[in-house]
Amino acid sequence: MAYQTILLDIADNVATVTLNRPDKLNAFSVEMHEELRAAIKDKKAAKARAMVLTGAGRAFCAGADLGARDLATEEKPDLGALLEKYYNPLIRALRRLPMPVIAAVNGVAAGAGANIAPGCVLVFAARSASFIQAFIRIGLVPDAGGTYMLPRLIGLQRAMGLAITGDKIDAKTAAQWGMIWKCVDDDALMDEVKEFARHIATQPTRSIGLIKRALYASLGNDLDSQLDLERNLQRVAGHGTDYREGVRAFLEKRPANFTGA
């Protein structure tokens, strides 16, 4: 498929998706939503063992394209329908994708863009990047999973503060608060993320998918349910060839050659 608003590159078992509307700071148009959805489902991309999500130009993503809607003629815009059709399926797809999706936040991440990043398994951000819960600035409510992820990542006070002020935080603060995995020098961001993704793509991919399931489920589970889930998932992992290979490699004192199965 030829994409107009994103770029999709697949190399070394890593699929890299670049949001590519730099003149709009990679704000989401309907077309970009549809293309991103197609890229996530792309058959070749699905064979990769890690995905990187980043933005072209000076921004990661500035949320919804605020120029796309004609509020002069739309008396009662149904923003719920917009979330139902585009943002919610995107966050669910990122979460359910068995492979890890790593966000490389190369610049400002605002509105839904700030919440799509923590919808990925790990977030690396350039030192000059920033995160803005911009919704309040236009009289809206954080979406794209922000009200779910933020309190869990950084606690209720900080989540509340960011959401009701719309204040910007820099990548260093985001890392200190536990909102992101790592703050990286601007020039090093893409090299570091790609190297990390290539490494992760050599690891037991199936186990990573199961780990995603376990850790995300833990946010809503009590201990007993979580122990039951761990039992079930370990059962699945134990049937994988990577488990056999991992144990064999350990006993033979050699690096494991994981296939992701």
Q: How far is the CB of 227 from ligand T3D (least distance, A)?
A: 38
Nearest to 143 by CA among 102, 108, 110: 110
Question: Which member of 7, 38, 136, 140 binds ligand T3D (CB under 6 A)?
Answer: 140
What is 177-208 written as a DSSP string? HTSSSEEE-GGGHHHHHHHHHHHHTTS-HHHH
- Please report whether residue 229 would count as binding ligand T3D according to CB under 6 A: no
Could you tell me how many residues of this chain bind ligand T3D (CB under 6 A)? 23
Measured CA to CA, the distance from residue 249 to residue 145 in angstroms comes to: 40
Q: How far is the CB of 136 from ligand T3D (least distance, A)?
A: 9
Q: How far is the CB of 182 from ligand T3D (least distance, A)?
A: 22
Tell me the per-residue interface mask from 120 to 139 with ligand T3D, x by CB under 6 A, - otherwise: ------------x-xx-xx-
> Binding to ligand T3D (CB under 6 A): which residues in 90-119?
108, 110-112
**Contact (CB, 8 A) for 35 and 5:** yes
Measured CA to CA, the distance from residue 206 to residue 211 in angstroms comes to: 9
> Binding to ligand T3D (CB under 6 A): which residues in 44-73?
62-67, 69
Catalogue the E-assigned strands of the chain: 6-11, 14-19, 50-55, 59-61, 101-105, 108-110, 122-126, 130-132, 168-170, 182-184
Q: Is the CB of 10 or the CB of 140 nearer to ligand T3D? A: 140
Question: Which member of 27, 122, 175, 210 binds ligand T3D (CB under 6 A)?
Answer: 27
Per-residue CA distances from 164 to 108, 134, 138 (Å) = 19, 9, 11
Using CB under 6 A as the criterion, which residues of the chain lie in contact with ligand T3D when the complex forms? 24-25, 27, 62-67, 69, 79, 82, 108, 110-112, 132, 134-135, 137-138, 140, 143
